[in-house]
């Protein structure tokens, strides 16, 4: 979803949320700047698409009459009591996990969302001590050009079509996939799902996708398997990972991430 489209949907949501009563399309058109300058037909098409997209995202848009005397005058609104999330109460260890998740995404394309989530938790009185988690160094980079499109397809259950080039191939091949999940595996991002052309479960590395993936179906076009464990599935599909040994020197008090994964061995002799 582009930033311009996200801003338009957000403004439409705010417009319908703050309204005390149903508001008509003309007032909505005036209130949302992105609708300015559109022809009547273009506005109607865009407004209908935006309403449907918000409903797919779970926003409860209600339709009612502006005037009880005239049933043909339709208005729209979002009831605050149906839109707001219930109060969230987290224990200290649960809040710590949320803080840790935010650290994981701090350099990723979802960083703004995690930062906003932490702000909302703090505003609600939940203590999230990020400094206490400073010993942990989890970070995920999502600089793959295809990441945003694949992530949206996974969350909205939309089939994808993309060109994919294996290392041994000189040209790319078009693949059609029902994306079940996206996973970081050994430093690379992969999408796992049902390959429609081969009628089999496959895993594709995002860095080998050439060009921008395209949606090849409507939202909720498929249902991932019940109880799907994306990481376990990725492990079963991934080729054997070569292992090698290395000896390194680490200064005392440094390299916490390495020390947590290291195995203790007896010194030679």
Ordered structural domains, the chain, with CATH: 3-83 (1.10.10), 92-133 (no CATH), 147-237 (2.30.30)
Model pLDDT, residue 179: 94
Helical ranges in the chain per DSSP H: 3-18, 25-31, 40-56, 80-83, 92-104, 111-123, 147-156, 230-237, 256-261
Reported as a single tens digit per residue, the pLDDT across 116-147 is: 555 555 555 545 444 444 434 444 556 788 98
Handedness of CA 79, 84, 115, 151 (dihedral sign): negative
Reported as a single tens digit per residue, the pLDDT across 173-193 is: 999 999 998 888 777 889 999
Q: Check whether 237 has a pLDDT greater than 80.
A: yes
Reported as a single tens digit per residue, the pLDDT across 47-65 is: 999 998 888 878 889 998 8
Question: What's this model's pTM, rounded to 2 decimal places?
Answer: 0.47
> Are the C-beta atoms of residues 234 and 183 closer than 8 Å to each other?
yes
- The confidence band for 85, taking pLDDT boundaries of 50, 70 and 90, is low
Mean per-residue pLDDT, 197-226: 92
The residue ranking higher by pLDDT, 134 or 249, is 249
* Angle in degrees, 0-180, between the axes of helices 92-104 and 111-123, rounded to the nearest 10: 160
Model pLDDT, residue 136: 42
Tell me the backbone φ, ψ of residue 214, rounded to 5 degrees.
-120, 145
- The confidence band for 70, taking pLDDT boundaries of 50, 70 and 90, is low
Q: Which residues contact 163 (CB under 8 A, 6 or more apart)?
A: 172, 173, 174, 175, 209, 210, 211
Q: Check whether 220 has a pLDDT greater than 70.
A: yes
Mean per-residue pLDDT, 103-109: 51
């Amino acid at each position: 979803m582009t930033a311009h489209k996200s801003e338009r949907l957000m403004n439409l949501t705010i417009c319908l949320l703050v309204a005390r009563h149903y508001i008509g399309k003309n007032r909505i058109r005036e209130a949302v700047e992105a609708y300015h300058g559109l022809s009547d037909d273009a506005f109607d098409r865009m407004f209908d698409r935006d309403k449907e997209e918000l409903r797919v995202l779970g926003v409860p848009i209600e339709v009612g009459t502006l005037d009880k005397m005239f049933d043909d005058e339709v208005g729209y609104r979002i009831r605050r009591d149906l839109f707001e999330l219930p109060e969230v109460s987290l224990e200290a260890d649960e809040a710590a996990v949320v803080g840790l998740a935010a650290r994981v995404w701090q350099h990723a394309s979802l960083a703004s969302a995690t930062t906003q989530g932490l702000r909302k938790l703090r505003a609600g009185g939940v203590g999230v001590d990020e400094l206490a988690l400073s010993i942990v160094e989890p970070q995920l980079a999502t600089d793959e050009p295809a990441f945003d499109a694949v992530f949206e397809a996974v969350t909205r259950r939309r089939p994808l079509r993309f060109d994919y080039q294996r290392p041994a191939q000189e040209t790319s091949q078009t693949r059609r996939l029902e994306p079940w999940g996206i996973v970081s595996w050994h430093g690379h991002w992969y999408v796992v799902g049902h390959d429609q052309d081969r009628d089999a479960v496959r895993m594709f590395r995002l860095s080998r996708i050439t060009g921008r993936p395209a949606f090849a179906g409507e939202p909720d076009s498929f249902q991932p398997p019940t109880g799907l464990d994306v990481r376990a599935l990725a492990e079963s599909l991934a080729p054997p990972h070569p292992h090698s040994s290395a000896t390194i020197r680490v200064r005392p008090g440094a390299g916490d991430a390495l020390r947590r994964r290291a195995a203790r061995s007896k010194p030679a002799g």
